[in-house]
Structure 1
């Protein structure tokens, strides 16, 4: 009996922010995977090691968490004023499913460095020393991201002294600008607030009626108050991820919020939309000890935020959710803005399970409608391994 050899695909394993993923150039993928569809999804699942009923992704590159079960496809852009197109696939761990409905803000920090190192950016636009500006088209959500990538001696600078809570070692800072971050195609006609309200009463069977800010910015996100669901906002992963009742509650909130936002047309559709929307709960500032043992003081932050990603409390904060936090905080009257003390603000520093993060946003009220021109935050990125990933043929 003959056995087909594994196929070998050029790939780079990268950390971006507090996430990790396998990066591909579109041109390097097998022909059947160069276009969206079942073949591409099957390939990426096999690369990551999904679906895995054991939930460990032992037979693949995934790390068995939402932060490490990710794939990225990058190609030269034909779109005017853009260097590359970036497509993100969130691979489910225990199900045969790749969610293409949203972006990964953390891995966005690695796209610019990957694109430069892979020869996808015109070298005339890349300085030998200084900052390279990489114009990225985020294909999942049809938005522009501007990455400021440090260069040293003609190569991407990866080491440095920029510290990011949730990442153990310092690295070079990559500043990201998420341009016009409010979604265009999500929800009710693409409105930043798809219900038309800054705060809604969201009825959730078995939970009650919750005050909620539902926003499309960075990624569709449902913000609720921590106290309304029995939390303080200082919780770490162990307080929630081992509580099946709590996780079921958050998934129920997510489903009903998605329906209210117009992201799904029936509750049963939420099962095929695991990546979006996110659910986050907020509270005013308080002292707590982060997962690293670091003491976070209430005086050092504006508010507390905890977010659920792919059915679990995130160990830090998703980059796209940070964009949603910064955007909502800049708009007086939202639950996020209220938790931060109210009033107009252009940036907030929030506490998350791993520490703190600062994010800025520029919001203006035009003819009674809020618009956000951009959200800004800094992350870091680093190549962990490069070469070829292998998957069984077929």
Structure 2
């Protein structure tokens, strides 16, 4: 029996924010995977170790959670006034599926540094010491992200004293600006920050109930509901939900009906093929709780509590794109997020999540009765964990 040898593909394994992913330069991918399609998806699935009926991704680079089952493909930008094009693939763990429908805000923190280190940013734009501003075209959603990457002695600075809840060790701070984050720009939905035209809707979910929801398209399409309306407090950690199959089924049903209401899909059955978006999150007014690290979070430390689900499970911290949605919704009086935070106009919000707290700012304004947001701002960090080549069987794609 003939055996197909493995091939080597240059790659870098990077932590960005509270996520990890395998980063590639487009030019380094095998030729048939340099274009979108089945070959690229099959390659990335094999790299990550999916589909895995055991749910562990033992035979790949994935870490068996939505936060660690991620891939990124970068290339020199085709857009004027941008440095790099950033394409994000969320790899399903148990299904043979790569979701290209949204961005990863956490891995966005690593895009600028990888682009600099990989020669995708013009050397003349990189200071010897200081901050390199990298303009990123987020190709999944057609939006601009600006990363402010610290540079020391001509190289990306990765170590530092910036602490991020959900990440064990400190690192260098990377400031991110998500420009004009509302309306995903993918031609779906109504093209509005609020696809239904309302700040709050009555969302009817058969088998679950009818309750208030804020459906927003900012950073990533997100369905916000009040924690108490679905039987929660907003202080839950992962174990309270991820081991509860009935709860997970409820959240997926909410997600499917919310996606239809937002115009992202035509029928609830289509939700299974769009796992990455929209997200579902529930909000509550501040109360004291203990974070997953054992650190106490006082009600006085935060403006509100938020818990969000990603790829069918409660996230261990907060997705960066969902944080953009939180910051944007908090800045607009009358949304469920804003009401949970006290109901006043604000340009920044600090929210409690399972791992601790996070601050995000947003600049929102109302023009001719329509709400717009010019940018959302947050700080993350990124660190290269390993670089070299990933290997996959030559017949895997």
User: 1:104-115 counterparts in 2 under 5 A?
Assistant: 104-115=104-115
Could you say if the C-alpha distance between residues 186 and 347 of structure 1 is closer, same or farther in structure 2, counting changes exceeding 3 Å?
farther
Cross-structure match for 1:208: 209
User: 1:37-48 counterparts in 2 under 5 A?
Assistant: 37-48=37-48
Q: Does 1:100 align with 2:100?
A: yes
Give the distance between the partners of 1:145 and 1:23, measured in 2 at CA: 17
Cross-structure match for 1:189: 190
Question: Does the residue aligned with 1:67 lie in a helix, a strand or coil?
Answer: helix
Give the distance between the partners of 1:254 and 1:146, measured in 2 at CA: 30
Cross-structure match for 2:294: 293
Q: Does 1:151 align with 2:151?
A: yes
For residue 189 of structure 1, report the CA deviation from its aligned partner: 2.8
Give the distance between the partners of 1:288 and 1:216, measured in 2 at CA: 29
Q: Is the 8 A contact 1:25 1:74 kept in 2?
A: yes
For residue 188 of structure 1, report the CA deviation from its aligned partner: 3.0
Cross-structure match for 1:249: 250
Q: Is the 8 A contact 1:99 1:273 kept in 2?
A: yes
Give the distance between the partners of 2:114 and 2:266, measured in 1 at CA: 37
Cross-structure match for 1:27: 27
For residue 386 of structure 1, report the CA deviation from its aligned partner: 0.1
TM-score (norm 1): 0.99
Could you say if the C-alpha distance between residues 138 and 178 of structure 1 is closer, same or farther in structure 2, counting changes exceeding 3 Å?
same
Question: Does the residue aligned with 1:274 lie in a helix, a strand or coil?
Answer: coil
Q: Is the 8 A contact 1:181 1:375 kept in 2?
A: yes
Q: Is the 8 A contact 2:304 2:341 kept in 1?
A: yes
What is the RMSD computed on CA atoms of the aligned residues?
Answer: 0.6
For residue 65 of structure 1, report the CA deviation from its aligned partner: 0.2
Cross-structure match for 2:71: 71
Give the distance between the partners of 1:62 and 1:190, measured in 2 at CA: 34
Q: Is the 8 A contact 1:186 1:216 kept in 2?
A: no
Give the distance between the partners of 1:286 and 1:128, measured in 2 at CA: 46
Give the distance between the partners of 1:7 and 1:182, measured in 2 at CA: 41
TM-score (norm 2): 0.99
For residue 250 of structure 1, report the CA deviation from its aligned partner: 0.2
Question: For each residue in 1:307-343, what CA deviation from the matched residue of structure 2 results, as whole angstroms up to 9, or x when unmatched?
Answer: 0100000000000000000000000000000000011
Question: Does the residue aligned with 2:68 lie in a helix, a strand or coil?
Answer: coil
For residue 3 of structure 1, report the CA deviation from its aligned partner: 1.2
Question: Does the residue aligned with 2:360 lie in a helix, a strand or coil?
Answer: strand
Q: Is the 8 A contact 2:14 2:22 kept in 1?
A: yes
Give the distance between the partners of 1:61 and 1:188, measured in 2 at CA: 34
Q: Does 1:305 align with 2:299?
A: no
Question: Does the residue aligned with 2:321 lie in a helix, a strand or coil?
Answer: helix
Q: Is the 8 A contact 1:187 1:194 kept in 2?
A: no
Structure 2: tracts of 5 or more residues without a match: none
Could you say if the C-alpha distance between residues 370 and 336 of structure 1 is closer, same or farther in structure 2, counting changes exceeding 3 Å?
same
Question: Does the residue aligned with 1:323 lie in a helix, a strand or coil?
Answer: helix
Q: Is the 8 A contact 2:285 2:303 kept in 1?
A: yes
Question: Does the residue aligned with 2:103 lie in a helix, a strand or coil?
Answer: coil
Alignment coverage as a number of residue pairs: 394
Question: Does the residue aligned with 2:73 lie in a helix, a strand or coil?
Answer: strand
Q: Is the 8 A contact 1:10 1:389 kept in 2?
A: yes
Question: For each residue in 1:59-98, what CA deviation from the matched residue of structure 2 results, as whole angstroms up to 9, or x when unmatched?
Answer: 0000000000000000001210000000000000000000
Q: Does 1:173 align with 2:160?
A: no
Q: Is the 8 A contact 1:186 1:262 kept in 2?
A: no
Give the distance between the partners of 1:143 and 1:309, measured in 2 at CA: 21
Give the distance between the partners of 1:72 and 1:188, measured in 2 at CA: 25
Question: For each residue in 1:329-360, what CA deviation from the matched residue of structure 2 results, as whole angstroms up to 9, or x when unmatched?
Answer: 00000000000001110000000000000000
User: 1:1-394 counterparts in 2 under 5 A?
Assistant: 1-183=1-183, 184-185=185-186, 187-394=188-395
Question: Does the residue aligned with 2:362 lie in a helix, a strand or coil?
Answer: strand
Q: Is the 8 A contact 1:85 1:136 kept in 2?
A: yes
Give the distance between the partners of 1:374 and 1:185, measured in 2 at CA: 18
For residue 210 of structure 1, report the CA deviation from its aligned partner: 1.0
Give the distance between the partners of 1:238 and 1:189, measured in 2 at CA: 36
Question: Does the residue aligned with 2:67 lie in a helix, a strand or coil?
Answer: coil
Q: Is the 8 A contact 2:289 2:298 kept in 1?
A: yes
Instruction: After the TM superposition, list the runs of 4 or more consecutive aligned residues in structure 1 that deviate by more than 4 angstroms.
Output: none
Q: Is the 8 A contact 2:190 2:263 kept in 1?
A: no
Question: For each residue in 1:156-190, what CA deviation from the matched residue of structure 2 results, as whole angstroms up to 9, or x when unmatched?
Answer: 00000000000000000000000000023354331
For residue 2 of structure 1, report the CA deviation from its aligned partner: 2.4
